[in-house]
Structure 1
């Protein structure tokens, strides 16, 4: 899993705990396998969550995450300590997940630039939804809707940035986001209706979202 052998002097490279991100970066740059292991363990769970939002299957998300970490370790010398280290890793993971998505699942991005109006209640319901529930609903969206929603609403990309990243127009990015929110609103309404007749455990077991 790790890209270099542990150096014989690795114990002297890292300070005693707590180990900061800067400590890990410096030690990884010197070839410490222990530092690579600690860096991976510190961010793996979080970055797997990032990849899962874009990819339906956990196996695909894990593959993207591992590929992303390989790029992280190769590119560490390019990190200039400008902005958060976590944010730098996240951008690599998002790009890796998008590449995996293109190979596994066509984005099917709409080519029209029409923006669909979404009721204000959609955004309110979206903000009140528990993270796990929202993740389940997002996973069932068409790939294009899911991708743009994640990039804009979760990662904080702007529409111009999304357009450049995906090779689409800004209008298409806005349209995909609007349609994603509209679809989430309909499914939230359906979920509320189903929840009135089923217990939460029964509801999620049936997958009626």
Structure 2
């Protein structure tokens, strides 16, 4: 069931009253989308579910911080993203990128690509953790490089470099997929 923002805000009012049924309903409505958001940053599904659970605990603990400005779902998603990134910080998985190799392309363009969203998500999940986090924060969540630097504890330049490298890796992976598909069709 997909709930409208109005429905979510009505349920949210019940949550603020500490109504457990309303909290459960909010969880049931948003859990699939929040798990998808967590899976963008954490490849292991069980770990992503743990992060999502922790995220919902933070949501219900910080209900007073949502002022009703902007999308409630967006506010909750932001908490999930920060929870996923925090998990990586605790595990000390943030690896700084080194110098950008010469000739690295900064833009990815794919024409006539029949790649489905789930396939692209799978490719993104295969990226090294730091590449995946920077790519998701920039390309999917819409963070600026300065915001990414603040969230991940890296410089803005490292964020830009890491995004460029992530795009290069994805481009290589997509090229490999396209080559295999051409070979498969030719056989």
Superposition TM-score tier, normalisation by shorter sequence: 0.7 to 0.9
What is the CA–CA distance in structure 1 between the aligned matches of 2:17 and 2:116, rounded to whole Å? 42
Residue number in structure 1 paired with 2:15:
28
Aligned ranges 1:73-84 → 2 under 5 Å = 73-84=60-71
Spell out, residue by residue over 1:153-201, the C-alpha distance to the aligned partner (whole angstroms, 9 max, x if none): 00000001001111111111000011111111111111111122347xx
Spell out, residue by residue over 1:30-54, the C-alpha distance to the aligned partner (whole angstroms, 9 max, x if none): 1211100110011100000000110
What is the CA–CA distance in structure 2 between the aligned matches of 1:186 and 1:37, rounded to whole Å? 43
Q: CA deviation at 1:114?
A: 7.4
What is the CA–CA distance in structure 2 between the aligned matches of 1:54 and 1:107, rounded to whole Å? 12
Q: Is the 8 A contact 1:113 1:172 kept in 2?
A: no
1:130 aligned to 2:111?
no
Q: CA deviation at 1:103?
A: 3.5
What is the CA–CA distance in structure 2 between the aligned matches of 1:176 and 1:35, rounded to whole Å? 41
Higher alpha-carbon Rg: 1
Residue number in structure 1 paired with 2:55:
68
Residue number in structure 1 paired with 2:36:
49
With a CA cutoff of 8 Å and minimum separation of 6, indicate the structure with the bigger relative contact order: 2
Change (3 A) 1:156 1:182: same
Aligned ranges 1:188-199 → 2 under 5 Å = 188-198=174-184
1:179 aligned to 2:165?
yes
Spell out, residue by residue over 1:58-117, the C-alpha distance to the aligned partner (whole angstroms, 9 max, x if none): 010000000000000111111101110011001100010111223447122215477964
What is the CA–CA distance in structure 2 between the aligned matches of 1:116 and 1:133, rounded to whole Å? 27
Instruction: Give the structure-2-normalised TM-score.
Output: 0.88
1:146 aligned to 2:132?
yes
Q: Which runs of 5+ in 1 are unaligned?
A: 1-18, 200-209
Question: What is the RMSD computed on CA atoms of the aligned residues?
Answer: 2.4
Change (3 A) 1:114 1:159: farther
Q: CA deviation at 1:124?
A: 3.4
Change (3 A) 1:38 1:115: farther
Pairs aligned (count): 181
1:157 aligned to 2:146?
no
What is the CA–CA distance in structure 1 between the aligned matches of 2:65 and 2:102, rounded to whole Å? 39
What is the CA–CA distance in structure 2 between the aligned matches of 1:38 and 1:100, rounded to whole Å? 26
